[in-house]
Amino acid sequence: MRNFIDNISAAIARIPQWGLIFPILFLMMFHYFAIFDKNKAEQEAGLNVAPTENEMKVFRIVNELPPDSKVLILVNYGPESKYELESAMSALIGVLAEKNIGIAFATMIPNGVESTFTAVEKSIENGSFGKERFVYGHEYTHLGFIVGGNIATYLIANNFGEVKERDIFDSSTEIHQPLMSEIGSISDFSAVFEFSSQTFDGVPGIVSFAVMLKDKNVKKVAFCSSDMLSAYIPFRGSLYLDGLVGGFKSIAVFIHEFQPSLNIEKQYAILSTILFYIIGLVIFSNLIELTRKNKK
């Protein structure tokens, strides 16, 4: 038995770490064709996860937004979280557009500007409305990159009248945008949504916003990437956060609720499997390194 273990250890030690990539890729391909590439009914049942109470709360907030009202969306993610958050934001934009709800976008990170317009284009492509029904300056606007992290959050919460004076193209919103002419303060919005892959000074942007906001009637909902979920969970269900959608599974449930045609269950399952095999790659790589050290 001892010789068998030694032989196995020796075999593991001889495997180059990069060599693990090939069996991992083989397993991923096998897993895809064996499980994911089945009939449509099985794909649609792939997620098979009931919404949590917190996710149901987000559904209600979105569904209860009054038609023709206005919302603010803070876009605080870049390319690093595109595959998690872009589809969710696109789905939300689609729901709002169908209810003729005006949207003002703003961002506290430079990459958020591109992320916003990409999600808008994706929403128009996947939605039942066209560009003629979702016109910049009328149905939505972008107030640009607001510098300062928590300082920017304070300005949005307390001096929104100044923040909204000009858009990202340095055009006067008062003169050229009917959408913003009715907005005098943050209280004129029915809800504020944040899509985030980072915090500011260790605090989620939507939480800083909620702390500084005087009008507690404005609904506050966060959508965050998986790696940021731990920073947002302590505020879930508190006075600072009315709803939270975070991580692959929660985002997939949200998207399926509002855009079931996207077949997000398959995407979620593939991403989850990739993460699983990445973890396996890290573990076996460390095992090889440990075995080699023990042989020395």
pLDDT above 90 as % of the chain = 32
CA nearest 69: which of 196, 209, 235, 217? 217
- Whether the Cβ atoms of residue 36 and residue 274 lie closer than 8 Å to each other: no
- Whether the Cβ atoms of residue 241 and residue 222 lie closer than 8 Å to each other: yes
> Alpha carbon 199 to chain centroid distance?
13
pLDDT attached to residue 143:
94
Average per-residue pLDDT for the chain: 79
CA–CA gap between residue 47 and residue 42 (Å, rounded): 10
- Whether the Cβ atoms of residue 150 and residue 167 lie closer than 8 Å to each other: no
pLDDT attached to residue 263:
55
HSE-CB for 77 with a 13 A CA cutoff: 28
**What pLDDT digit, counting tens, does each position of 164-180 carry?**
898 999 999 888 788 88
Where do the H-state alpha helices sit in the chain? Answer: 2-14, 21-31, 40-44, 53-63, 82-98, 111-126, 150-158, 160-163, 173-176, 178-181, 205-212, 229-232, 247-258, 264-295
Domains of the chain (ranges plus CATH)? 2-37+268-295 (no CATH), 52-262 (3.40.50.10160)
pLDDT attached to residue 45:
46
The two structure tokens encoding residue 9 = 């250890």
pLDDT attached to residue 268:
56
pTM of the model: 0.75
Q: Is the dihedral of CA 145, 146, 150, 156 positive or negative?
A: negative
CA–CA gap between residue 296 and residue 293 (Å, rounded): 5
CA nearest 197: which of 84, 119, 104? 84
Q: SS3 for 290? A: helix
**What pLDDT digit, counting tens, does each position of 115-152 carry?**
999 999 988 887 666 667 788 988 999 999 998 788 88
Question: What's the residue count for the chain?
Answer: 296
CA–CA gap between residue 244 and residue 230 (Å, rounded): 12
CA–CA gap between residue 29 and residue 264 (Å, rounded): 19
Residue ranges of the chain with pLDDT lower than 50?
5, 38-46
